[in-house]
Structure 1
Amino acid sequence: MFDKMFSTVNFLNFALNGTWLRHEAISNNIANANTPGYKRVRVEFENILKENLEDKSVKLEVTNKLHIRSRHDNFEPIVVKEINTSTRLDENNVDIDIEMAELAKNTIMYNALIRQTISEFGRIKSVINEGRR
């Protein structure tokens, strides 16, 4: 039971961190849309999450009788700078329309993850309270 509960929280934590980092990257791209020579940055983490979900060996380990942690807590999103493309003469490769669409998509994903996290902690609270509100 604790295995599933904490692995879900760790999964949501990683996903939230990835979407937050992506939001910062997209915001930085938008802020530099008119900066000559600026190269677009993107953040990838979905493949890492997918691999984590497919890995059936995700187990919790006890490092101390008061500490429980996942062996897979060290995931890091991948930040990629797109240096091979250029859409303008000034070597900037930011397309503001694409960035705004990515920002909207990322915001929806972040909000969904927040709702899911709130729901997960509600379930944990219910377990702790033995089903009572």
Structure 2
Amino acid sequence: MLGNSIFGNTMSMANKSLDYLWKKMEVVQNNLANVDTPGYKKKDISFEEVFDKRLRAASQTKSNTQMRQAISGADYFVYTPYDSSARVDENNVHADVEEADMARTSLHYQYLLQTVTADIKRYQTAIKGQ
């Protein structure tokens, strides 16, 4: 695969991370949209821990194939964490917490996208010989 020979695993990892961050923003937006829905329980998303474990295990094998499989096989999952609600309507979404999470996730997404764009521009410059 051409992408892996030029970029190593960088683009695959960035792609997985961007997919996760996009999904995280969707989950947070859904939580915010339901902040006043009686009985709604906030959702969360898990990815980093599983991804980190897979990468660490693959890096110990020193196999590029294992690393690619670890990256492609890592996935996120949406779940409802146990969180009792102190609100009368049994909704456990806190808008201020969700908004802070959205801001953090958006900044992380933008940073990662800028990093990928800069990497691609460097390769373009090298290819053009400028």
Shorter-chain TM-score: which interval?
Answer: 0.7 to 0.9
Q: 1:122 to 1:53 in 2, by over 3 A?
A: farther
What's the offset of the Cα at 1:122? 2.3
Provide the C-alpha distance between the structure 1 equivalents of 2:84 and 2:119, rounded to a whole number of angstroms.
41
Q: Report the Cα offset of residue 107 of structure 1.
A: 0.7
TM-score, reference length from structure 1: 0.79
Aligned residue in 2 for 1:101: 100
Aligned CA-pair RMSD: 2.4
Whole-angstrom distance in 2 between the partners of 1:116 and 1:97: 29
* One-letter amino acid matched to 1:82: P
Equivalent residue, structure 1, for 2:8:
6
Unaligned runs of 5+ in 1: 62-69
CA distance in structure 1 between the aligned counterparts of 2:124 and 2:47, rounded to whole angstroms: 29
Q: Which residue of 2 aligns with 1:125?
A: 124
In 1, Cα distance between equivalents of 2:117 and 2:123? 10
Higher strand share: 1
State the secondary structure of the residue aligned to 2:8: helix
- Report the structure, 1 or 2, having the larger helix content: 2
Q: CA offset at residue 11 of structure 1?
A: 0.6
- How much does 1:124 deviate? 3.5
- Specify the code of the residue in structure 2 equivalent to 1:103: M
Deviations 1:61-96 (A, max 9, x none): 8xxxxxxxx323122112121244213111110000
CA contact 2:83–2:92 (8 Å) conserved in 1: no
User: Is this contact kept in 1: 2:54–2:74, CA < 8 A?
Assistant: no
In 1: Cα distance, 2:123 partner to 2:92 partner: 45
Q: TM-score, normalised by structure 2?
A: 0.81
The Cα shift of 1:52 comes to 4.1
Aligned to 1:18: 20
Instruction: Tell me how far apart the structure 2 counterparts of residues 132 and 87 of structure 1 sit (CA, whole Å).
Output: 62
Report if the CA contact (8 A) 1:36-1:91 is conserved: yes
* Count, aligned residues: 123
